[in-house]
Amino acid sequence: MTETPADTMQFGSAVSIRVYSLELLNGSLFEQMLARKEERETLPKQPITALLLAAASSEAFLNEFCEYVPLIYQAHRVAMPPALASCVDILNDLEGSRISVTTKYLYASRVLGDKGFNAGQNPYQDFRLLVDLRNAIMHMRVARDNVARRATDVLIGRGLARPAIAPTLSWFDCLKTSAVAQWAHESAFALIVSFLQMVPAPEPIDPLLGYRSYFSRPKTA
């Protein structure tokens, strides 16, 4: 008998979905816990891994969302609310584009509600910092250094990243703290939860109730 992964949802015998974005999100939390054990003695590598996994989880979530939501509604034999159907259509249309994941979240949120995410407030503001740092790490270029330095300075100002006291301590090394790892995890988690809160919930039964519950678990170690 094959064991079913914990993050798999089953709808009858025809529909089975696995929430990979949650696995990535939990991976960032695990890296944060490892970083706590090492940061007193050295610059731990885990916070960078946690940051990358957290950013990846938010992008994976959006890709899963536009594929899984129609399947879940079909399994419940319920029509999607018009705003939700439009959101899924727009996300599918944007899939092949080069539009950033931050812009996709803005577009999708504004289709779901009158206002959507406020670009100047959290959780979107921290999510954008997270993605800026992820892009700077994954696409190392001199042109991105200023963006990464500004984002890192924000985290230094909050007491999350290491101050760049030594001349040899780059913005990359400044990020190597368990506090940055926790911030990255919580930023991705908060964005996903806030997005799901914008998704309409039909009464009396919300077909996405089980899906939402996967992202209602504790977000800190």
Average pLDDT, integer, range 178-188: 92
C-alpha angle 97/100/103, rounded to 5°?
105
Residue 217 lies in a domain: no
Residue 212 lies in a domain: no
Collapsing DSSP to helix, strand or coil, 169 comes out as: coil
How much is the mean pLDDT over the chain?
Answer: 83
Average pLDDT, integer, range 209-217: 82
Q: Which residue has the higher pLDDT, 146 or 13?
A: 146
- Reply yes or no on whether the pLDDT at 14 is more than 60: no
How confident is the model at residue 35, as a pLDDT? 66
How confident is the model at residue 145, as a pLDDT? 76
Q: Which residue has the higher pLDDT, 144 or 13?
A: 144
Residue 218 lies in a domain: no
How confident is the model at residue 10, as a pLDDT? 58
Q: Which residue has the higher pLDDT, 22 or 109?
A: 109
How many domains does the chain contain in total? 1
Owning domain of residue 59: 8-199
Residue 152 lies in a domain: yes
- Type and span of the H or E element at 10: strand 8-11
Residue 220 lies in a domain: no
Average pLDDT, integer, range 20-40: 71
Residue 76 lies in a domain: yes
* pLDDT > 70 fraction of the chain, expressed in percent and rounded: 81
Name the nearest CA neighbour of 52 among 172, 134, 171: 134
Q: Which residue has the higher pLDDT, 193 or 32?
A: 193
Report pLDDT digits (tens) over 101-130: 999 999 999 999 778 999 999 999 999 999
Report pLDDT digits (tens) over 150-178: 999 999 999 999 887 766 678 999 999 98
How confident is the model at residue 119, as a pLDDT? 92
Instruction: Please tell me the pTM assigned to this model.
Output: 0.85
Residue 210 lies in a domain: no
Beta-bridge partner residues of 16: 10
Residue 3 lies in a domain: no
For residue 1, name the pLDDT band (cuts at 50, 70, 90): very low
- Reply yes or no on whether the pLDDT at 131 is more than 90: yes
